[in-house]
Structure 1
Amino acid sequence: MRKLDKKDLLILGYLQDNGRYSYSQIAKMLKVSEGTVRSRINQMLKDRVFEFVIHTNPNKIGLNVQAIIGISTKLGKHEEIAAQLKEFPQVRFVGAFSGTHDLIIQAYFKSNEELMDFANKKLASIEGIESEEINVELKQYKDTFSYVPENDDTVI
């Protein structure tokens, strides 16, 4: 993979600002050709620098309960448990962490009852989970997938 330069970061910034910008719109803003934008975007997609996704608001589709669940596992079991957790449709994120919990997941549910069912039946049935700590989101202050620094001269 080639190193990203400032132009690549600017393209990413425009796409994060508005994923519906056309290549020609971005080209005009950067004062380059549409072909330059197209080839850079295609190369970044090929290099898996980013992907196009739709970020849905969970509340708007009936998923009113967000939980961050910390899971402690038996030694040597976190890979196997993570593989099982990835298969649940409620789970949006699974990661291994240092600290109090071996795994942390983010999951969405229609109700507190659905969350309780998930914890008491689905998580409880996974061999190797020693404990879980459930944190329910009360209020959200920020939810973004923007990682490109603004006005940064740093080249990655």
Structure 2
Amino acid sequence: MDDLDFEIIKRLQTDGRTSYTDISEDLGITVGTVRNRVQRLIENQILKIVGVVNPFKTGSPSVTIFGLKVRLQKLDNVIKKLVAIPEVRFVAASTGVYDLYVEVITSSNEELYRVMKNDISQIDGIESMESSLLLEIFKQSYDWEVGSQTSQQ
């Protein structure tokens, strides 16, 4: 990745619907260059362009964050099984109290209970889990500074 890639990403973070023409004019490059670079960033799983919704306003009022302690020799298998659960929207390894953080979005508390009981708790290697039900989202931002080629050296 070079500085041009970071500039393209920065514009798409602000508004994922920004046209390649607008980006090319803003950066003084061709539309084809923007298209090719965006495609490469997507293929390399550096960039994903999506519509982000607030689950509380779209009929999914149960948003829960789980902190999981996992037997480290089973970590890869636990991650693989968590990722396969449709209601799981986010899985991240971490340092500190928990080995993994997992976000689960369901349409009701009954559905959340089913996912906890029938899916998550059945995964071999999870030693303990704690959950926090989110009540409201006050900030959901995706336009953080991605850096540049020179800052990564």
* TM-score normalised by length of structure 1: 0.80
1:144 aligns to 2:141 (yes or no): yes
Conserved? CA contact 2:2–2:149, under 8 Å: no
- Per the alignment, residue 8 of structure 2 pairs with 11
Displacement of 1:111 after TM fit? 1.6
Q: Distance in 1 between matches of 2:72 and 2:46?
A: 33
SS at match of 1:131: strand
Question: Which residue identity is paired with 1:109?
Answer: T
**Compared CA separation, residues 119 and 26, structure 1 to 2 (3 A):** same
Q: Following superposition of structure 1 onto structure 2, how do residues 1-150 of structure 1 map, counting pairs within 5 Å? A: 3-5=1-3, 7-149=4-146
**Compared CA separation, residues 30 and 50, structure 1 to 2 (3 A):** same
Q: Distance in 1 between matches of 2:116 and 2:151?
A: 44
Displacement of 1:22 after TM fit? 1.8
**Compared CA separation, residues 121 and 53, structure 1 to 2 (3 A):** same
Question: Could you say which structure has the larger radius of gyration?
Answer: 1
Query: How many correspondences in the alignment?
Result: 152
Query: Unpaired runs of 5+ in structure 1?
Result: none
**Compared CA separation, residues 24 and 76, structure 1 to 2 (3 A):** same
Query: Unpaired runs of 5+ in structure 2?
Result: none
* TM-score normalised by length of structure 2: 0.82
Question: Which residue identity is paired with 1:91?
Answer: V
Conserved? CA contact 1:93–1:106, under 8 Å: yes
Identity %: 32
- After superposition, give the CA deviation of every residue in 1:27-69 in whole Å (9 maximum; x if it has no partner): 2222333233233333433443312223233234311111110
Which is richer in helix? 2
